[in-house]
Each structure stands twice: as structure tokens, then as C-alpha cells.
Amino acid sequence: MKQENLSDTVRLHSPAPHVAVITIDRPEARNAVSASVAEGIDRALTLTEADTDTWVVVLTGAGGKAFCAGADLKEVAAGRAATLGTSRGGFAGFVNYSREKPWIAAVEGFALGGGFEIVLTCDMVVAAETATFGLPETSRGLMAAAGGVYRLPRLLPRNIAIELIATGKVLSATQAHAHGLVNRVASAGSALDVAVELAQAVAKCAPVAVRESLKVARVAADMSDAELRVVMRQAFERNASAEDYREGPRAFLEKRAPQWLGR
């Protein structure tokens, strides 16, 4: 996938085989979500989901001081809040978008409000040691209505999540890692590099098997065992029909690295 600008505030490039990096590029506004950001991320999802050569996506913010400050309050105050989302993706063109491929958030600086909700929508998180996370909405008379109030209790211990929601307090990268919200803590300035390394580790695995496994894992907390057995069987059958399903065991027996086709 070639490097390109998906809007005037969202960039895409590929730093490694099968890995795409999407960058929110509004550092002067702390990468707050504008209409342009929402449109760019929505387009990024469309492109990466359709691109057979992209197996993992990393999402980050430019400038090093903020991953994303959430909604652009200037737009909200001007009565343009509806432009900060898309019909398919919801807020930021992302939080409601139905996707198959794994996304990794690479967080430098703070991810607050809607910015944290974007992080919570990703499948994995790499945070710089100086990163912070929070849902300050209740301290401003608002609600984290782009998924924060229900995704956070799924990812953190219930009481910790409720405290964060009810007080608007900030969570450090170290605390987030201790609670299992963050996969890896990186030195300041290196979150993207570490996230790309994690993406490359994912890309070494069969992409169809990863996607089908995620379809089950993403709904594991929302369904009964009986429902999950149905979802699991369907995912298993789709994966078993893929060419890579035979390549993996064959490569193991031949003592070589598998050559995944992604189909």
C-alpha cells in the first residue's frame, strides 16, 4: 500500500510488509477529531479492509504530545457535532465501523474523551511511558457516548472502570498496563516503533486465521457459551476453507517458514 493522504488531516503509509499505519495529523489541535479526521479514518478503514496485502493496521497521532484529544470542541460549540462522525463508522469514522483486521493503537501523550474511546475500540494498545488515558466527560456534564462507558468496564476491572467514568480521573500508562488495558509500554517517542514491531509479529501468523479468531474473541464477553459455539463453528469452517489452512501444517512438516497467501 502506497503512502497517501486520506484527507488533509489523516495520512497512510506502510512501514513494513502487510502493515499499514494511519496517522491523525492535527498536532496543532492535539489531533482532535474534526470532520476531516472522521472522513479520513473512515476512508482508511475502507481501504485497509479491502486491501488484500494489508493484514494489520496501526493507528497513531502526530506530534508526540497527544494521540487524540477527542472531539474538536470548537466544532461542537459551532453546532457541527454531527460532522465528527460518519454513517458507517460513528464517531471519528471508527468506533462503530465493522472491521475484520486487527488494529493497534500507538499512543504518545494523552488519549482523552473521544480519543480514549478510539483507543478502546482498537484490539491492542502500545503506550509510551508518558501516555495518559481518561474519560473526563462527566466532569463537564457530558457522557462518553462513543462506546467509552461500556467498553471500559469490559477491559478493566469493573470498579476501576466505574471510578474512572464517575470521577473523570486520568490513568497512567503504567497503571493501564498493570490492569491489562495496554499490551506494551514503550519509552517516550517510541510507541509507534514498538507498535509496528507488534504488528509485524501479528503479520507472521496466517491472516485468515487471525481475522476469524478475532471475530470470536471480540464478542466473547457479549455472548453465552452456546452462542459462542455457533460463532466459533462458523469461523472455524471459514478458516478451514482457506488455502493457508493447509499451508501451515505443510510448512511445519517441511520444517520451513509458512508462505501465507491471505486467502
Opening angle at CA 98, ends 96 and 100, nearest 5: 140
In a domain? residue 263: no
Q: Among residues 4, 28, 39, 137, which one is catalytic?
A: 137
199 vs 127: CA distance, rounded Å: 14
In a domain? residue 170: yes
238 vs 216: CA distance, rounded Å: 12
- List, for residues 44-59, the tens digit of each pLDDT value: 999 999 999 999 999 9
Answer yes or no: do 199 and 221 share one domain.
Answer: no
Tell me 81's DSSP state.
Answer: G
| Number of other CB atoms surrounding residue 174 within 10 Å | 13
Please say if 117 is a catalytic residue: yes
Tell me the average pLDDT of the chain.
95
CA distances from 181 to 6, 22, 77, 116, 173 (A): 29, 21, 32, 11, 9
103-107 and 170-172 beta bridge pairing: unpaired
Residue 39: predicted pLDDT: 96
Q: Which three cell numbers, joined as nine digits, stand for 28?
A: 496543532
What is the CATH number for 142? 3.90.226.10
In a domain? residue 190: yes
Answer yes or no: do 219 and 136 share one domain.
Answer: no
Q: Among residues 117, 197, 227, 247, which one is catalytic?
A: 117
Answer yes or no: do 147 and 125 share one domain.
Answer: yes
In a domain? residue 214: yes
In a domain? residue 258: no
Answer yes or no: do 23 and 127 share one domain.
Answer: yes
Beta strand spans in the chain (E): 4-5, 10-16, 19-24, 56-61, 66-68, 85-86, 90-91, 103-107, 110-112, 124-128, 132-134, 170-172, 184-186
Answer yes or no: do 23 and 61 share one domain.
Answer: yes
Answer yes or no: do 162 and 246 share one domain.
Answer: no
- List, for residues 96-114, the tens digit of each pLDDT value: 999 999 999 999 999 999 9
In a domain? residue 260: no
Residue 23: predicted pLDDT: 98
Answer yes or no: do 161 and 221 share one domain.
Answer: no
In a domain? residue 105: yes
CA distances from 129 to 69, 126, 161, 186, 198 (A): 18, 10, 20, 6, 17
User: Which pTM value belongs to this model?
Assistant: 0.95
Residue 77: predicted pLDDT: 84
The amino acid present at 208, given as its one-letter code, is: V
In a domain? residue 262: no
Answer yes or no: do 196 and 249 share one domain.
Answer: no
Please say if 137 is a catalytic residue: yes
3 vs 44: CA distance, rounded Å: 12
Q: Which residues contact 140 (CB under 8 A, 6 or more apart)?
A: 168
Expressed as residue numbers, the domain containing 225 is 207-253
Answer yes or no: do 128 and 114 share one domain.
Answer: yes
Answer yes or no: do 129 and 215 share one domain.
Answer: no
How many domains, the chain?
2
263 vs 260: CA distance, rounded Å: 8
Answer yes or no: do 97 and 217 share one domain.
Answer: no
Residue 1 has pLDDT above 80, yes or no: no
Answer yes or no: do 237 and 151 share one domain.
Answer: no
